[in-house]
Structure 1
Amino acid sequence: MEQYPVGDPEQGLTSNEADAAFTALATVDQRGIVTGWNTGFEQLLGYLPVEILGRPAVSLLADEPAASALPLFSELPRWHGTLTLRHRDGHRLEVRVIAHRRALEGGTHDWVLVSAVAGTQPSPGDDALMRRGLLDSPCCPTALLDTSLRYRRCNQAAEVAMDLSDEDMRGLRLRDVMLGDPVAEEVEWRMLRTLETGESQYLERHARAPGETRDHAWSIHLFRLEDQDGRVLGVASTSHDMTEQYWARKRLQLIAEASTRIGSTLDVRRTAEELAAVAVPDLADFLCVDLLTSLDDLPEQPPGALRAGTPLALRRVAHRSVFPGTPEAVVAVDEVDQYPEGSPSAESLRSGHAVLYQVTDRAIPDWLAKDSLRSSRIREFGFHSAMAVPLTARGTTLGVVVFARHRHPDPFQQDDLVLAEELAARAAVCIDNALRYTRERRTAVTLQRSLLPQSLPEQAAVEVASRYLPAGARAGVGGDWFDVIPLSGARVALVVGDVVGHGIHASATMGRLRTAVRTLADIDLPPDELLTHLDDLVARLATETDGAVGVPPRHTKTEAWGTADSDGEGTGEGTGDVGATCLYAVYDPVSRRCTLARAGHPLPALVRPDGTVELLDLPAGPPLGLGGLPFESFETELPEGSLLALYTDGLIESRDSDLDEGISRLCQALSGPAASLETLCDTVLEALLPRRPADDVALLVARSRALDADHVATWGVTPHPSAVAKARKDTVEQLKAWGQTEAAFVTELVVSELVTNAIRYGEPPIQLRLILDRSLICEVSDASSTAPHMRRARTYDEGGRGLLLVAQLTQRWGTRQSAAGKTIWAEQDADLGL
């Protein structure tokens, strides 16, 4: 079997000199000078290249045509017809020529003239091709080509598609007829494969045929033609117009793509941008999404917002174009514009239905006459049709989407409007979800921040700085919290906690726990006892929540903590699950001792004055809510200037790194120099967190201070009534030494009452301590655990007025228990000039 050369469609087809002789090819520049001349034209007209190159092409004509008979070639992409040329020996030739206008670099162009040297007349072999090639199809362009891939015959449908007659194409190859078209080169390459292998070829291409005004989708079938003896005659090409099926598939593909791409987040702008990305450029050349400005602050548009006769205020949330930078847009993203009655957006929103407009429709010029900027953009870019589709979800009108075309030659059809409605409906539901989530999240964030400390209290024990970051949109606001609580005796409590779950339910639970911690701290409970009481409270909250949502009470305590999903996030709101972790620390600046206890919480980090960082090895306590398991305290001495970092697990845990890596990065960030604690907090967050953290983060950093020994005075008290006078005397002398003589009278009365009560009702040893800090603190300790109670004495009672007197003379008083007994204290918040 004869072998045919096969080429690569990306590199062009192979050829040879004998093959080239069948096609006459010449080039003429835009001045009409011949710049190219092949052997085909040499054979056709007899001129050698050296004789014709550089000469005017008109000199080849046998008769110069009248100027009025010539078309305006500068406006034609291609010209074909019959020219009367003069052979070199003088005789006249009627030659069919196809002239292709070809663009060159620099903005110039030339013309490529193509003509068949031989085979322009039907040959006897064409009859066999016709019998084998089924040329009788009235609607499918069909062409028959010989073994050199030159046209021999084509039917009427092919003539219409190519805008050439059968005679014009006979003897030429497809790449001669469609010069420079990559589709033509690929089809010829497939034809060569068909001739060589005998295998039929099938391909689909979306392109514009020379005789068509718009792109069509073509399915092209190629098969080899043989006679009864198996001799190869050529190849047949049949094309089927599948434009409707093509667009139907594209629409289905867009709908399928929209279901996966639109609504990937709960962010309004991102959702609108996803809608634009799906529709441009496959459906529209330009798209904009505008939402009612009434949605900025209200859950729904107020009554009358869409009333006829009033302009509509719409906020641009997204737009997209086939051109970079969206130059067609008149309104910038986030800007508000007014749309008067008669505009596509207003009519679509007020009617509640999608509308399809052509720029030539009567309503459009009337509207554009009032908007010179939009009118100029429409003329500049050549907009010809537009669709406005309302965004409606769950009975609420949200805004409008406008689809427009200017580069795509075909105007929108009814099928496009149906597709646009489907895309808008999907986007509307996602935008409504995002709006609802945004409102709920704003409410949760507001609640969360209102329940957190608005400002940290003044106290002298530690210097503190804090940060709270709510989780990103995916997880929602959680229940992380922190607190700084001044305690008696110049001490301070540092608290960090984390409630299981996210949303308003977690924020409300956090508020209840924070209030409970403050209440328990106010009665000076040690850290381990405080966590025990808090654990009981969380267990009761879980039982109450279960009953509220109709869930049976838990039968095992471990279920109370099984509230996090596989991603470490809460199971959602209203699940009935309540649980929390907590770290509670008490620091005494007099002794520089810090006592800590934790309930399922990450270990705190301690940065010593020399810069070394370590995690304090606190005993592990169960998360709050399990109940029945003990908590243990851990006590350590903090050198003055030590740094204590308390945080929630969102700071060190992430999906991208393990816990050990997070702890290592935290220690590294804490060990670096920082100008202030505020700067240190920022450094830690920047080093450990992404821009949108997956979980809430609470961070509390405290630098310890030590109270000067000169500001503390301690005396042992003999358990005898005579010791009261000496205690008063020592107190007055110490106040004189401190320069606080104005407080001597009140302090002397307080010391007298507290020491008397200790001698009368307490047990030795008894100790009196004065602390001069931001306030003047008087403390009396004894070995008895019995706490006094304030009561109102009746008229003739001899006792019962002491503590009432203390409460009236001081700003605060109270009792705290210790392993050695109890301490009764009182504070005066007078201005001491410190």
Structure 2
Amino acid sequence: MDTDGFQADLGPAGRAELGPSPPGGLLDVLGVAAVVLDADGRIVFWSPQAQTLLGYSAEEALGRFAAQLLVADEHVDLVLRLFAQVMEGEGSWAGVFPVRHKDGSTRLLEFRNMRLQDDRGDPYALGLATDQGILRQVEQDLALSVRLVDQSPIGLAVLDTGLRYAMVNPALERINGLPAEEHLGRTVREALPFLDADSIESAMRQVLATGTPLVDQYAVGRTRADPGTEHAWSVSYYRLEDPGGKVLGVGTSVVDVTDRHRAALEADRARHRLAVVADASVRIGTTLDLEQTARELADVAVPELADMAAVDVLDSALTGHRTTAPAHGPALFRALAVAAAYPTDVTSAADPPSEVARYEADRLVTRAVNTSRPVMVPHVNEADLSLIARDPRAAAMLARAGVHSYLAVPLVARGEVLGALDLVRARNPHPFTEDDATLASELAARAAVCIDNARWYQRQRDTALTLQRSLLPEPPPPLYGLEVASRYQPAGATSEVGGDWYDVLPLPGDRTALVVGDVMGSGINAATAMGRLRTATQTLAGLGLAPKQVLRNLDRITAGLDPYIATCTYALYDPHTAQCHISTAGHLPPVRMRPGRAPALLDLPTGAPLGVGGVPFRTTAVDLDPGDQLVFYTDGLVETRDQDIDTRLGALLTLLDGPHRNLEDTCDHLLDALRHPDDHDDVALLIARVRR
């Protein structure tokens, strides 16, 4: 019999046999103190337990006001109010209250206060108190001892030394989806065949053998309670022994941590997604080349997202037509890149790079660009393949390769649809998910901006080059006494195209003007300024002016082109006097090549660049013999960011000191040896050889 802590043994007749309780009972553990106050608040009764609890003897406590003796000043008003409520018969009072100990410390006591009345009708207040910490510990111990198993939200079980269930609690019944009676007497393998019984029983045997608990062992699986969902549990094992040390079995606790497991998986996926996006930010857009940017996107997508990836750009985006409004019809795509995670001929099923293909509105890739939304087919069937592949042959190739999942993500930059990223899975057994679509969309968004930059770069570069080349001279007619060759090579970046020029001008009297110049600046505006200077140079040369006069007039013209300045070399060759008169305006000196001698830079007055204003220019006469050559060039041929100009000029002279070449070959040789595709300046090169 168990009634609120009162215990009694039942005799043969079922009657309670009353008798003394052994020491150490619940009341002894609690040490309940009793204190009685009269109507004035004086202590009139003081139990030995009160002395033990608060330190005051009965002689020290009796007759004193309880509030003064036991209560801190800041709590006196509250105590008096509660005392008055009890004494006025408004009910008892229960709670936790700080009480002052004799040693000056404060103890938290759990109180039960009530009103008493003696046979004469005089009221008293009875206070029953115990240490709050002890009371709470006893309450917890009682709850654990009486209700732990049944009320615990944690699944609990006891298995005997043969690892057969001896007890399970209701929480474990719910977790396993199996009644207690179907557990009892069975092993884990027999009761729960859907779990990894080998690892579970191995852990229990280890605990039985060593006595060392195994805590927070992670397990993942499915149960009868929820067979359609994967769950995760934290499982602990500990050995059970009787007071004599005899091993009774194994206790186990099971906590469902599915939410934590899913959150951890999601966090892992998020970290992985961020890592992929960060990697893509580094790998995509390393150049302003459209095809290279598309290849970088495809390379990032495999094998991270797909077994094969293709990047296709709308032909309208390449031709400059904006595609911001949703479309509903067919689309023309230009394939830019294809990548595969492993060697396969399936790549031939994709459109070859640079080829234009027309896809109708019902095609999945067309739907992606028309709606500006990803199109995902987690499980591809035969009908889907006909909407993915470009033709029946390609669809058959995809089917043979085992393509089972498809995802198309639009490339959208600055509100404009540029194309699509196509992804398929074959060897990767998992279908595409919404997480995959999210990651692919993030990659596509970043890549789309790079692709947009690349196409605008290409367009501006083409415009600048077209303008630049339109301003450069046509091949000159046959010249009297001179043979010439020339080259123009643009810079590797759009913004740096446009400032360099050369010119060969036949003049009256069989003379020839040779001009090389460089407008400081870049882009279309610099090319336009160069065109104006070139036109002015042609006009001034036609007036028969001396080189220094030509530069003086060009200086005034350039000053009106603010903020531009330019460097220039103007040479006037007269075959009848075999002399070349040269003036420079801040330009690098030409190289003179003479048969049988080492090439050398001409020693000329440098002069100030055009546009500075007010600086005189000088002309130097150079005698030329048949076979002599003059090499004019702009700084883009010799200047680099990692070498000083003297070193580069020395390299130029060394190259010119090589085997004899014709002028065209010399131009190509210099450009090949001194230039790199990504050089940040354009270059003009002009070579003239004196003929007999």
Residue type matched to 2:588 in 1? Answer: P
Q: Does the CA-based 8 Å contact 1:619-1:632 persist in structure 2?
A: yes
CA-CA distance at 1:389 after TM superposition: 1.8
User: Equivalents in 2 of 1:370, 1:695: separation in Å?
Assistant: 43
Residue type matched to 2:294 in 1? Answer: A
Return closer, same or farther for 1:370/1:608 CA change in 2, 3 Å cut-off.
Answer: closer
Q: Hey, what does 2:120 align to over in structure 1?
A: none
Q: Hey, what does 1:477 align to over in structure 2?
A: 497
Larger radius of gyration: 2
RMSD (Å) for aligned C-alpha atoms: 4.5
CA-CA distance at 1:673 after TM superposition: 2.0
User: Equivalents in 1 of 2:417, 2:482: separation in Å?
Assistant: 54
Give CA deviations for 1:171-198 in whole Å, capped at 9, x if unaligned. Answer: 699xxxxxxxxxxxxxxxxxxxxx9xx9
CA-CA distance at 1:266 after TM superposition: 1.8
Is residue 2:276 matched to residue 1:272?
no
Return closer, same or farther for 1:498/1:225 CA change in 2, 3 Å cut-off.
Answer: farther
Q: Does the CA-based 8 Å contact 2:411-2:445 persist in structure 1?
A: yes
Is residue 2:331 matched to residue 1:312?
yes
Return closer, same or farther for 1:312/1:154 CA change in 2, 3 Å cut-off.
Answer: same
| Match of residue 640, structure 1, among 616, 626, 651 | 626
CA-CA distance at 1:380 after TM superposition: 2.2
| Match of residue 321, structure 2, among 278, 288, 300 | 300
User: Equivalents in 2 of 1:502, 1:510: separation in Å?
Assistant: 10
DSSP-derived class of the 2:687 partner: strand
Return closer, same or farther for 1:278/1:226 CA change in 2, 3 Å cut-off.
Answer: farther
Return closer, same or farther for 1:410/1:471 CA change in 2, 3 Å cut-off.
Answer: same
Q: Hey, what does 1:321 align to over in structure 2?
A: 340
User: Equivalents in 1 of 2:669, 2:347: separation in Å?
Assistant: 43
| Match of residue 397, structure 2, among 368, 373, 377 | 377
User: Equivalents in 1 of 2:618, 2:198: separation in Å?
Assistant: 96
Identity of aligned residues (%): 42
User: Equivalents in 1 of 2:445, 2:472: separation in Å?
Assistant: 40
Return closer, same or farther for 1:376/1:210 CA change in 2, 3 Å cut-off.
Answer: farther
User: Equivalents in 2 of 1:237, 1:656: separation in Å?
Assistant: 67
Is residue 2:567 matched to residue 1:581?
yes
Q: Hey, what does 2:648 align to over in structure 1?
A: 662
Residue type matched to 1:513 in 2? Answer: L
Q: Does the CA-based 8 Å contact 1:348-1:388 persist in structure 2?
A: yes
Give CA deviations for 1:444-490 in whole Å, capped at 9, x if unaligned. Answer: 11110010012123211311001110011365412100011122322
User: Equivalents in 1 of 2:595, 2:687: separation in Å?
Assistant: 14
DSSP-derived class of the 2:337 partner: strand
| Match of residue 492, structure 1, among 491, 497, 512 | 512
Is residue 2:533 matched to residue 1:526?
no
Give CA deviations for 1:191-230 in whole Å, capped at 9, x if unaligned. Answer: xxxx9xx9x9999xxxx9999xxxxx999999999999xx
Give CA deviations for 1:579-635 in whole Å, capped at 9, x if unaligned. Answer: 111011112212222221111111111111114110011112111111112222222
Q: Does the CA-based 8 Å contact 1:605-1:616 persist in structure 2?
A: yes
| Match of residue 303, structure 2, among 268, 277, 281 | 281
| Match of residue 681, structure 1, among 654, 667, 686 | 667
Q: Hey, what does 1:30 align to over in structure 2?
A: none
Q: Does the CA-based 8 Å contact 2:323-2:416 persist in structure 1?
A: no
User: Equivalents in 1 of 2:579, 2:569: separation in Å?
Assistant: 17
DSSP-derived class of the 2:520 partner: strand
Is residue 2:586 matched to residue 1:608?
no
CA-CA distance at 1:137 after TM superposition: 13
Give CA deviations for 1:536-587 in whole Å, capped at 9, x if unaligned. Answer: 1111111xxxxxxxxxxxxxxxxxxxxxxxxxxxxxxxxxx31111011112
Give CA deviations for 1:17-45 in whole Å, capped at 9, x if unaligned. Answer: xxxxxxxxxxxxxxxxxxxxxxxxxxxxx
Q: Hey, what does 1:513 align to over in structure 2?
A: 533
Residue type matched to 1:685 in 2? Answer: L
Give CA deviations for 1:484-523 in whole Å, capped at 9, x if unaligned. Answer: 1122322211110011122111111111000111111111
Is residue 2:677 matched to residue 1:697?
no
Residue type matched to 2:528 in 1? Answer: A
Consecutive unaligned residues of structure 2, counting only runs of 5 or more, are 1-158, 177-186, 224-229, 242-249
CA-CA distance at 1:361 after TM superposition: 6.0
User: Equivalents in 2 of 1:357, 1:617: separation in Å?
Assistant: 74
Q: Hey, what does 1:425 align to over in structure 2?
A: 445
Give CA deviations for 1:702-755 in whole Å, capped at 9, x if unaligned. Answer: 11235xxxxxxxxxxxxxxxxxxxxxxxxxxxxxxxxxxxxxxxxxxxxxxxxx
User: Equivalents in 2 of 1:491, 1:402: separation in Å?
Assistant: 63
User: Equivalents in 2 of 1:425, 1:614: separation in Å?
Assistant: 55
Q: Does the CA-based 8 Å contact 2:216-2:234 persist in structure 1?
A: yes
Q: Does the CA-based 8 Å contact 1:155-1:166 persist in structure 2?
A: no
User: Equivalents in 2 of 1:294, 1:700: separation in Å?
Assistant: 40
Give CA deviations for 1:671-716 in whole Å, capped at 9, x if unaligned. Answer: 122341101111111111123432101110111235xxxxxxxxxx
User: Equivalents in 1 of 2:491, 2:368: separation in Å?
Assistant: 38
User: Equivalents in 2 of 1:369, 1:579: separation in Å?
Assistant: 57
User: Equivalents in 2 of 1:519, 1:449: separation in Å?
Assistant: 20
Q: Does the CA-based 8 Å contact 2:519-2:565 persist in structure 1?
A: yes
DSSP-derived class of the 1:481 partner: strand
Q: Does the CA-based 8 Å contact 2:457-2:494 persist in structure 1?
A: no
Q: Does the CA-based 8 Å contact 2:317-2:323 persist in structure 1?
A: no
Q: Hey, what does 1:621 align to over in structure 2?
A: 607
Consecutive unaligned residues of structure 1, counting only runs of 5 or more, are 1-121, 140-152, 174-194, 212-216, 543-576, 707-834
Residue type matched to 1:674 in 2? Answer: H
CA-CA distance at 1:155 after TM superposition: 11
User: Equivalents in 2 of 1:703, 1:307: separation in Å?
Assistant: 64
Return closer, same or farther for 1:156/1:467 CA change in 2, 3 Å cut-off.
Answer: farther
Q: Does the CA-based 8 Å contact 1:218-1:243 persist in structure 2?
A: no
Q: Hey, what does 1:56 align to over in structure 2?
A: none
The aligned runs of 1:355-434 (5 Å cut-off) are 355-360=375-380, 364=384, 367=387, 371-434=391-454
Return closer, same or farther for 1:621/1:365 CA change in 2, 3 Å cut-off.
Answer: closer
Q: Does the CA-based 8 Å contact 1:461-1:492 persist in structure 2?
A: no
Residue type matched to 1:323 in 2? Answer: Y
- Matched positions, count: 499
Q: Hey, what does 1:93 align to over in structure 2?
A: none
User: Equivalents in 1 of 2:217, 2:640: separation in Å?
Assistant: 51
CA-CA distance at 1:403 after TM superposition: 1.9
Q: Which moved more, 1:266-275 or 1:511-520?
A: 266-275
Q: Hey, what does 2:555 align to over in structure 1?
A: 535
CA-CA distance at 1:317 after TM superposition: 0.2
Q: Hey, what does 1:257 align to over in structure 2?
A: 279
Residue type matched to 1:381 in 2? Answer: A
User: Equivalents in 1 of 2:362, 2:487: separation in Å?
Assistant: 52
CA-CA distance at 1:253 after TM superposition: 2.2
Q: Does the CA-based 8 Å contact 1:289-1:316 persist in structure 2?
A: yes
DSSP-derived class of the 2:358 partner: strand
Q: Does the CA-based 8 Å contact 1:328-1:381 persist in structure 2?
A: no
Q: Does the CA-based 8 Å contact 1:254-1:279 persist in structure 2?
A: no
Normalising by structure 2, what TM-score?
A: 0.63
Q: Hey, what does 1:457 align to over in structure 2?
A: 477
Normalising by structure 1, what TM-score?
A: 0.53
User: Equivalents in 2 of 1:246, 1:303: separation in Å?
Assistant: 36
CA-CA distance at 1:377 after TM superposition: 2.4
Q: Does the CA-based 8 Å contact 1:490-1:589 persist in structure 2?
A: yes
Q: Hey, what does 1:89 align to over in structure 2?
A: none
